[in-house]
Structure 1
């Protein structure tokens, strides 16, 4: 019955909204990150959960366990995210952006269609020094305020963001809890993807023409 309903609603999916729930909690040495996607009033769900996130002592890398849940089942995996992998991914992304003409414009137009329905970010911190704790908490307030300003400039704020910084002057500690829910229509995401693919082809053609021109000049 569930799949029959999905088949009937398939042509209308572009008008439905995808809701993305992001939750992150850091309590001392423990981390818990989860990202959940829901569609059709929760009929379709996909969840990524990272219950373990730690620094590897043997190498400059981050070790994490990942659990993915969907209608197709549950999948668990363990990975290490190294600095080399991060730099390599950044290089690939940089090359991709250069080949997509107007990439920033496409992303900016899509982000204008994204709504922030909930935003909560609380941080409790202490450095062990009262003066340093006071200045650090002020820096955190300013940083969070700037982040909200950037989000308000690029996306739609449907509710008032709630941020909090609690200084702990008596001890060294760092705890933070973050919760965010954003939504956008599938049609807008599909349209942005089509634009990226179309401009990617143009960028490849232009890149090839410029390369051939340079080769001709060097002959």
Structure 2
């Protein structure tokens, strides 16, 4: 009797684990710029929507070549009790240099980090990728040049992205030219997903590599906490 109960419990645990492993982490990215208004949103959910994360940049203001950009952001999640934070930071040369130095440290103290990143990205499947831009300058010739440059940028970006993740459909890329005056609006939309099992296994592999390096775990904790 008890043997069958334990077999049933273990079977349920195995089935539940398989279902969880085969579920997806859904990621939605939206970048929108209309003249002076900027908006970036990254939303992720996993475990059938039980865990959600929402990161938003609501304003990007140019403060000058020395100060760079002032960025206002908001972060929300429902982990455990859930929390919500709002802050702002200056995105300038010093900020870029600091981020570059941190990434270099992670690469230096984590074996095969770049290869690990490329491998996990190959498990990401993108179902929707659209990028639409309206652009216009005061002069018709300048508008044509700007439009050609925008096509080139989009072609290079989507080609590079196709080598990193799996695109299930052809990207929808559009550039609309306007000859009646200065105008610039652009919207980038991406919907992607990765199996929870792939992300979990990749996380375990990364953790093992980090722990093997002396001071590796402490370095990751320090950098992630500062970020």
- What band does the TM-score fall into relative to the shorter chain? 0.7 to 0.9
- 2-structure distance, mates of 1:27, 1:86: 25
- 1-structure distance, mates of 2:118, 2:96: 24
- 2-structure distance, mates of 1:114, 1:184: 5
Matched, 1:181 2:188: no
State the Cα RMSD in Å: 2.6
Structure 1 residue 147 displacement after superposition: 1.6
Calculate the TM-score normalised by the size of structure 2: 0.77
User: Secondary structure of the residue that 2:111 maps to in structure 1?
Assistant: coil
Choose which of 172, 175, 182 in structure 2 pairs with 1:165. 175
Structure 1 residue 201 displacement after superposition: 4.3
Aligned to 2:7: none
Aligned to 1:29: 36
Aligned to 1:82: 91
User: Secondary structure of the residue that 1:108 maps to in structure 2?
Assistant: helix
Aligned to 1:208: none
- 2-structure distance, mates of 1:89, 1:146: 24
- 1-structure distance, mates of 2:153, 2:69: 26
Question: Structure 1: any 5+ residue segments left out of the alignment?
Answer: 1-7, 206-219
User: Secondary structure of the residue that 1:182 maps to in structure 2?
Assistant: strand
Residues 187-208 of structure 1, C-alpha deviations (whole Å, 9 max, x = no match): 2122222222333345549xxx
Aligned length: 199
Structure 1 residue 137 displacement after superposition: 1.0
Aligned to 1:62: 70
**Contact 2:55 2:73 survives alignment (8 Å):** no
Q: How does 1:95-114 map to 2 (within 5 A)?
A: 95-114=105-124
- Structure 2 vs 1, CA of residues 185 and 132 (structure 1 numbering), >3 Å: closer, same or farther? same
